[in-house]
Amino acid sequence: MSAKLRRLNRIKELLNSKVITSHENLVRLLSDEGVQVTQATLSRDFAELGVIRTFTENGARYILDAHESGKQIAKLIGFEILSVENNESLVLIRTLAGRAPGIAHFIDRLNNPEILGTVAGDDTVLVIPSSIKHIPNLVSMVKRMMVEQAG
Protein backbone atom coordinates (compact mmCIF):
# COMPACT_ATOMS: atom_id res chain seq x y z
CA MET A 1 0.00 0.00 0.00
CA SER A 2 1.34 3.44 -0.90
CA ALA A 3 2.23 6.02 1.73
CA LYS A 4 -0.62 8.22 0.50
CA LEU A 5 -3.16 5.42 0.81
CA ARG A 6 -1.92 4.57 4.32
CA ARG A 7 -2.19 8.27 5.27
CA LEU A 8 -5.72 8.55 3.83
CA ASN A 9 -6.81 5.42 5.68
CA ARG A 10 -5.35 6.72 8.94
CA ILE A 11 -7.08 10.10 8.47
CA LYS A 12 -10.40 8.29 8.00
CA GLU A 13 -9.79 6.20 11.12
CA LEU A 14 -8.95 9.27 13.20
CA LEU A 15 -11.96 11.23 11.94
CA ASN A 16 -14.21 8.30 12.84
CA SER A 17 -12.71 7.70 16.28
CA LYS A 18 -11.83 11.18 17.58
CA VAL A 19 -13.25 14.67 17.58
CA ILE A 20 -11.01 16.62 15.19
CA THR A 21 -11.60 20.35 15.49
CA SER A 22 -8.75 21.74 13.41
CA HIS A 23 -6.14 20.88 10.80
CA GLU A 24 -3.47 21.51 13.41
CA ASN A 25 -5.06 18.96 15.73
CA LEU A 26 -5.01 16.28 13.02
CA VAL A 27 -1.47 17.16 11.89
CA ARG A 28 -0.32 16.69 15.50
CA LEU A 29 -2.12 13.34 15.88
CA LEU A 30 -0.63 12.07 12.63
CA SER A 31 2.82 13.33 13.61
CA ASP A 32 2.55 11.48 16.93
CA GLU A 33 2.14 8.31 14.85
CA GLY A 34 5.12 9.12 12.64
CA VAL A 35 3.05 10.37 9.70
CA GLN A 36 4.41 13.72 8.55
CA VAL A 37 1.98 15.85 6.56
CA THR A 38 1.80 19.53 5.69
CA GLN A 39 -1.37 21.57 6.02
CA ALA A 40 -1.53 21.92 2.23
CA THR A 41 -1.36 18.15 1.77
CA LEU A 42 -3.97 17.67 4.48
CA SER A 43 -6.29 20.10 2.69
CA ARG A 44 -5.93 18.09 -0.52
CA ASP A 45 -6.52 14.87 1.42
CA PHE A 46 -9.69 16.37 2.94
CA ALA A 47 -10.95 17.28 -0.53
CA GLU A 48 -10.15 13.81 -1.85
CA LEU A 49 -11.84 12.05 1.07
CA GLY A 50 -14.88 14.34 1.10
CA VAL A 51 -14.17 15.69 4.60
CA ILE A 52 -16.49 18.49 5.66
CA ARG A 53 -16.58 20.82 8.63
CA THR A 54 -19.77 20.57 10.62
CA PHE A 55 -21.10 22.25 13.72
CA THR A 56 -22.31 20.27 16.71
CA GLU A 57 -23.53 21.26 20.14
CA ASN A 58 -19.88 20.98 21.25
CA GLY A 59 -18.53 23.20 18.47
CA ALA A 60 -17.05 22.68 15.02
CA ARG A 61 -15.48 19.40 13.94
CA TYR A 62 -14.37 17.63 10.78
CA ILE A 63 -16.24 14.56 9.57
CA LEU A 64 -16.40 12.36 6.50
CA ASP A 65 -19.33 13.32 4.31
CA ALA A 66 -20.79 9.89 3.53
CA HIS A 67 -21.95 10.79 0.03
CA GLU A 68 -18.73 12.47 -1.08
CA SER A 69 -16.40 10.05 0.65
CA GLY A 70 -18.22 7.13 -0.97
CA LYS A 71 -17.41 8.51 -4.42
CA GLN A 72 -13.80 9.17 -3.45
CA ILE A 73 -13.36 5.79 -1.80
CA ALA A 74 -14.67 4.12 -4.97
CA LYS A 75 -11.83 5.77 -6.87
CA LEU A 76 -9.27 4.52 -4.36
CA ILE A 77 -10.75 1.02 -4.46
CA GLY A 78 -10.16 0.98 -8.22
CA PHE A 79 -6.42 1.37 -7.64
CA GLU A 80 -6.41 -1.68 -5.40
CA ILE A 81 -8.19 -4.06 -7.80
CA LEU A 82 -5.87 -5.95 -10.14
CA SER A 83 -8.35 -8.12 -12.05
CA VAL A 84 -11.82 -9.60 -12.08
CA GLU A 85 -12.77 -13.07 -13.29
CA ASN A 86 -15.86 -15.21 -13.15
CA ASN A 87 -17.19 -18.66 -13.82
CA GLU A 88 -20.78 -19.87 -14.08
CA SER A 89 -21.55 -19.13 -10.44
CA LEU A 90 -19.07 -16.75 -8.78
CA VAL A 91 -17.05 -13.56 -9.31
CA LEU A 92 -13.43 -13.44 -8.18
CA ILE A 93 -11.55 -10.18 -7.65
CA ARG A 94 -7.74 -10.13 -7.33
CA THR A 95 -6.38 -7.22 -5.29
CA LEU A 96 -3.15 -5.76 -4.03
CA ALA A 97 -1.78 -7.71 -1.06
CA GLY A 98 -3.72 -7.01 2.11
CA ARG A 99 -6.50 -5.01 0.39
CA ALA A 100 -9.13 -7.71 -0.14
CA PRO A 101 -10.87 -7.17 3.24
CA GLY A 102 -11.30 -3.45 2.55
CA ILE A 103 -12.63 -4.05 -0.94
CA ALA A 104 -15.03 -6.74 0.30
CA HIS A 105 -16.27 -4.36 3.00
CA PHE A 106 -16.81 -1.62 0.40
CA ILE A 107 -18.75 -4.00 -1.86
CA ASP A 108 -20.86 -5.25 1.06
CA ARG A 109 -21.75 -1.67 2.02
CA LEU A 110 -23.11 -1.02 -1.47
CA ASN A 111 -26.13 -3.07 -0.35
CA ASN A 112 -26.54 -4.24 -3.93
CA PRO A 113 -29.47 -6.70 -4.10
CA GLU A 114 -27.58 -8.63 -6.79
CA ILE A 115 -24.94 -9.58 -4.17
CA LEU A 116 -25.57 -12.05 -1.35
CA GLY A 117 -22.20 -11.30 0.20
CA THR A 118 -18.44 -11.45 -0.09
CA VAL A 119 -15.62 -13.50 1.35
CA ALA A 120 -12.16 -11.95 1.56
CA GLY A 121 -8.72 -13.43 1.87
CA ASP A 122 -5.55 -11.36 1.75
CA ASP A 123 -5.54 -10.55 -1.96
CA THR A 124 -8.71 -12.20 -3.24
CA VAL A 125 -12.40 -11.35 -2.87
CA LEU A 126 -15.09 -13.87 -3.68
CA VAL A 127 -18.36 -12.16 -4.63
CA ILE A 128 -21.41 -14.36 -4.23
CA PRO A 129 -24.24 -13.24 -6.51
CA SER A 130 -27.89 -13.59 -5.49
CA SER A 131 -28.43 -15.28 -8.85
CA ILE A 132 -26.08 -16.44 -11.57
CA LYS A 133 -27.94 -14.17 -13.98
CA HIS A 134 -26.39 -11.17 -12.15
CA ILE A 135 -22.79 -12.21 -12.82
CA PRO A 136 -22.36 -10.07 -15.97
CA ASN A 137 -23.66 -6.99 -14.10
CA LEU A 138 -21.32 -7.63 -11.17
CA VAL A 139 -18.29 -8.11 -13.42
CA SER A 140 -19.19 -4.86 -15.22
CA MET A 141 -19.56 -3.05 -11.88
CA VAL A 142 -16.06 -4.12 -10.77
CA LYS A 143 -14.57 -3.21 -14.16
CA ARG A 144 -16.18 0.26 -13.88
CA MET A 145 -14.51 0.68 -10.48
CA MET A 146 -11.18 -0.18 -12.08
CA VAL A 147 -11.72 2.33 -14.92
CA GLU A 148 -13.01 5.18 -12.72
CA GLN A 149 -9.71 5.36 -10.88
CA ALA A 150 -8.01 6.27 -14.15
CA GLY A 151 -10.46 9.11 -14.81
DSSP the chain: --HHHHHHHHHHHHHHHS----HHHHHHHHHHTT----HHHHHHHHHHHTEEEEEETTEEEEEE-HHHHHHHHHHHHHHHEEEEEE-SS-EEEEESTT-HHHHHHHHHHT--TTEEEEEE-SSEEEEEESSGGGHHHHHHHHHHHHHHTT-
Residue 17 burial by Cβ neighbours in a 10 Å radius (0-12, 13-18, 19+): exposed
d(CA 3, CA 121): 22
pLDDT at residue 149, as a whole number: 55
Full pLDDT tens readout for the chain, 151 residues: 678 888 988 898 898 888 999 999 999 999 999 999 998 888 888 877 878 888 878 788 888 775 555 565 666 788 899 999 999 999 999 999 988 988 998 888 888 899 999 999 999 999 999 999 999 999 999 998 887 654 4
- Domain at 3-64: CATH code: 1.10.10.10
Q: Phi-psi category of 34—alpha, beta or left, where left has phi over 0 and alpha has psi -120 to 50? A: left
For residue 51, what pLDDT is reported? 84
Same fold, 3-64 and 71-148: no
CA separation (Å) from 71 to 49, 59, 64?
9, 27, 12
pLDDT at 71: 60
Indicate the domain borders of the chain: 3-64, 71-148
CATH domain 71-148 topology: Gyrase A; domain 2 (3.30.1360)
For residues 19 and 41, give the distance between their C-alpha atoms in angstroms, rounded to a whole number: 20
- Closest Cα to residue 138, out of 87, 68, 69, 77? 87
